[in-house]
């Protein structure tokens, strides 16, 4: 897997540029597969792709479907035939004698049909590309693990969704009355060698996304907890206040 990361880390423009092109769906198949593999195994790549998705999401949400109507195709055919396009209008006039038929070149008809098929194919390709872009940027990334933190009465207090060791979404499931001189701090235990590690501070009443220093990929049964610390967080970098809730991680099924 390290060979895959090495192959694409040297891409012109860097990781962020390649992540943007991956999200937009404009990479060739081989490079796209390399990025997809990197996202699965490397938190840095996963973070870059998630950031790109969030950056392009407003663009996708502003797109509205357009009804091209018959005038669109009439204009294309007129240009293909070397004519100036005219608007298609419904005209009501008194009946007149039928005009004599004007012979049409079979070759001209064939060329028009060919170009129309090509235009339709190009339009379909554009629609598929836009659809793929919207799907790519609007889908929600899956958390690597989820932990439900319980209090001493085994009541759910907090849900933590860890997205791979450097970003986590924390949702409070109950209300906390936090004194003005105190803060709620989120912790995890990646391994015994690292010890308890802070993920950040919570804002009571809000769902927050925490960005923190890169940690090992979270595992099943990894411990998460929240504690009540002095304002601004623990002064020692380790939990010092009372534990409000704790729980162990599980992988989504």
Spatial distance between the Cα atoms of 208 and 202, rounded to a whole number of angstroms: 7
Provide the pLDDT for residue 46: 85
pTM of the model: 0.48
The last residue of one of the domains, among 28, 45, 61, is: 61
**pLDDT number for residue 44:** 82
Instruction: Tell me the CATH number at 173.
Output: 2.60.40
Residue 71 located in a structural domain: no
List Cα–Cα distances, 237 to 74, 120, 193, 200, 223, in angstroms.
70, 62, 15, 11, 17
Residues 149 and 244 in one domain: yes
| Residue 153 sits in the same domain as residue 245 | yes
Is residue 79 a part of any domain in this protein? no
**Phi, psi dihedrals of residue 133, rounded to the nearest 5°:** -65, -45
**pLDDT computed for residue 238 by the predictor:** 94
Which band of pLDDT confidence, cut at 50, 70 and 90, is reported for residue 232? very high
Total domains, the chain: 2
Tell me what the pLDDT averaged over the chain comes to.
76
Is 125 a domain residue? no
Whole-angstrom distance, CA of residue 231 vs CA of residue 235 = 9
Nearest by Cα to 23 from 167, 134, 142, 166: 134
pLDDT at 68: 67
Only one residue has tokens 């049964």, namely 221
Residue 222 CA to residue 188 CA, distance in Å, equals 7
Residue-level pLDDT at 31? 83
> Which residue is associated with the tokens 């105190």?
182
H or E element, residue 160: strand 156-162
Answer whether residue 117 is part of any domain: no
Q: Is the pLDDT of residue 87 over 90?
A: no
Residue 179 domain flag: yes
Q: Which domain holds residue 38?
A: 1-61
Confirm whether 120 is domain-assigned.
no
Asked if residue 110 belongs to a domain, the reply is: no
Note whether 72 and 120 are within 8 A (CB): no
Alpha helices in the chain (DSSP H): 2-9, 14-24, 29-41, 43-62, 69-80, 106-138
Domain end point (choices 20, 43, 61)? 61
pLDDT (average), residues 156-178: 90
Percent of the residues in the chain that have a pLDDT greater than 90, as a whole number: 32
Instruction: Evaluate whether 140 touches 169 at the Cβ level (below 8 Å).
Output: no
Q: Is 181 contained in some domain?
A: yes
């Amino acid at each position: 897997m390290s060979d895959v990361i090495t192959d694409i880390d040297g891409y012109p423009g860097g990781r962020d540029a390649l992540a943007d092109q991956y999200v937009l769906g404009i990479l060739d198949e081989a490079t796209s597969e390399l990025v997809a593999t990197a996202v699965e195994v490397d938190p840095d790549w996963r973070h870059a792709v998630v950031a790109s998705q969030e950056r392009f999401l407003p663009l996708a949400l502003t797109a509205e479907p357009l009804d091209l109507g018959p005038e669109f195709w009439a204009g294309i055919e007129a240009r293909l035939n070397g004519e100036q396009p005219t608007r298609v209008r419904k005209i009501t006039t008194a009946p007149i004698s039928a005009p004599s038929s004007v012979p049409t070149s079979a070759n001209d008809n064939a060329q028009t049909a060919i170009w129309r098929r090509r235009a339709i194919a190009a339009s379909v390709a554009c629609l598929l590309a836009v659809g793929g872009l919207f799907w790519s940027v609007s889908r929600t990334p899956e958390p690597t693990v989820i932990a439900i933190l319980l209090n001493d009465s085994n009541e759910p207090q907090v849900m933590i969704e860890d997205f791979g060791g450097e970003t986590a979404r924390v949702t409070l499931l109950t209300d906390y009355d936090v004194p003005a001189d105190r803060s709620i701090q989120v912790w995890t235990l990646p391994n015994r060698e690292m010890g308890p590690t802070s993920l950040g501070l919570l804002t009571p009443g809000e769902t927050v996304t925490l960005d923190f220093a890169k940690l090992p990929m979270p595992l099943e049964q990894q411990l998460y907890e929240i504690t009540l610390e002095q304002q601004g967080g623990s002064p020692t970098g380790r939990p010092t206040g009372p534990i409000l809730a704790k729980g162990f991680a599980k992988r989504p099924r």
